Amino acid sequence: MRSVVESTYHVLGMSCDHCVQSVTAALSALPGVREVTVDLAAALVTVRSDTPPPPDAVRRAVDEAGFELTAGRP
């Protein structure tokens, strides 16, 4: 059984359930992602995956969903 890696990101611009669904769908499509959890109030997105997702892929997925991944840690 593989271990699961958890990565947390701060995403700006999310304000509703539709935003949560968009970000969740975009990040869930990345290879190796098992689960995406969004804390809308804190603007945090947690990704559980087989390996850490490439930062460029995460940024691109969030951008394509219409939101902004901040540079710093949450």
Strands 33-39 and 5-12, how do they pair?
unpaired
Q: How high is the mean pLDDT in each 10-residue block of the chain (74 residues)?
A: 87 96 98 96 95 94 96 52
Nearest to 67 by CA among 3, 5, 9, 28: 9
Residues in CB range of 22: below 8 A, 6 or more apart: 65, 66, 67
> Token match 């804390």: residue?
39
DSSP 43: T
For 32, phi then psi, to 5°, come to 85, -5
Domains of the chain with bracketed CATH: 5-69 (3.30.70.100)
